Amino acid sequence: MVMEIRKLRRITVRNKIAVIGSGTVGLVVAGCLAAAGHKITCIDPSPDKVARLNRAQMPINEPGLEDLIAGALSKGLLHFEASLSAAISQCDVIFLDVGLPSDRDGNLMVDDLCDVARSIGLAMDNYKIIINKSTVPVGTARALEQIIRESQQVRNAAYPFDVVANPDFLSEGSTLQSFRHPRQVIFGVTNARAAKIMRLLYRCYEWPLEPLMVTKPETAEMIKLAANAFMDMKIAFINEIASLCEIMGADIKQVARGIGMDDRSGLHSLKPGYWQSRFPRETRALARQAKEAGRPLKLVEAAIAVHGKQSNFV
Can you give the residue range of the structural domain that contains 187?
A: 2-215
> Residue 314: inside a domain, yes or no?
no
Average pLDDT, the chain: 86
CA distance between the termini of the chain: 43
The secondary structure element, H or E, covering residue 252 is: helix 252-260
Confidence band of 12 (pLDDT split at 50, 70, 90): very low
Q: Is residue 147 domain-shared with residue 208, that is, in the same domain?
A: yes
Judged by phi (left if over 0) then psi (alpha if -120 to 50, else beta), residue 305 lies in alpha
Q: Is residue 207 domain-shared with residue 234, that is, in the same domain?
A: no
pLDDT in tens, 203-250: 766 665 567 899 999 999 999 999 988 888 899 999 999 999 999 999
Q: Is residue 42 domain-shared with residue 177, that is, in the same domain?
A: yes
Contact assessment for residue 96 and residue 20, using Cβ atoms and an 8 Å cutoff: yes
Q: Which residues contact 258 (CB under 8 A, 6 or more apart)?
A: none
Q: Is residue 211 domain-shared with residue 232, that is, in the same domain?
A: no
- CATH code: domain of residue 289: 1.10.1040
Q: Is residue 63 domain-shared with residue 175, that is, in the same domain?
A: yes
- Supply the pLDDT for residue 31: 95
Q: Is residue 230 domain-shared with residue 118, that is, in the same domain?
A: no
- Supply the pLDDT for residue 135: 92
Which whole number is the average pLDDT over 76-96? 92
Domain stops at, among 191, 215, 239: 215
> Residue 70: inside a domain, yes or no?
yes
Q: Is residue 167 domain-shared with residue 282, that is, in the same domain?
A: no
Residue 214, burial from CB neighbour count under 10 angstroms (0-12, 13-18, 19+): middle
Statement: residue 311 has pLDDT above 90: no
Contact assessment for residue 164 and residue 132, using Cβ atoms and an 8 Å cutoff: yes
- Supply the pLDDT for residue 313: 43
Domain stops at, among 169, 184, 215: 215
> Residue 247: inside a domain, yes or no?
yes
pLDDT in tens, 202-212: 876 666 556 78
Q: How many domains does the chain have?
A: 2
Residue 102: phi and psi, rounded to 5, are: -120, 150
- For residue 111, the tally of other CB atoms under 10 A from its CB is 10
The secondary structure element, H or E, covering residue 80 is: strand 78-81
Q: Is residue 90 domain-shared with residue 171, that is, in the same domain?
A: yes
Q: Is residue 146 domain-shared with residue 292, that is, in the same domain?
A: no
**DSSP of 145-190, one letter per residue?**
HHHHHHHHHHTT----EEEEE----PPTT-HHHHHHS-S-EEEE-S
> Residue 144: inside a domain, yes or no?
yes
- Supply the pLDDT for residue 11: 46
Domain stops at, among 188, 215, 242: 215
Q: Is residue 40 domain-shared with residue 181, that is, in the same domain?
A: yes
pLDDT in tens, 270-296: 666 554 555 677 788 888 999 999 999
- CATH code: domain of residue 131: 3.40.50.720
Q: Is residue 133 domain-shared with residue 209, that is, in the same domain?
A: yes
CA distance 147 to 102: 21
Q: Is residue 195 domain-shared with residue 281, that is, in the same domain?
A: no
> Residue 145: inside a domain, yes or no?
yes
Confidence band of 267 (pLDDT split at 50, 70, 90): low
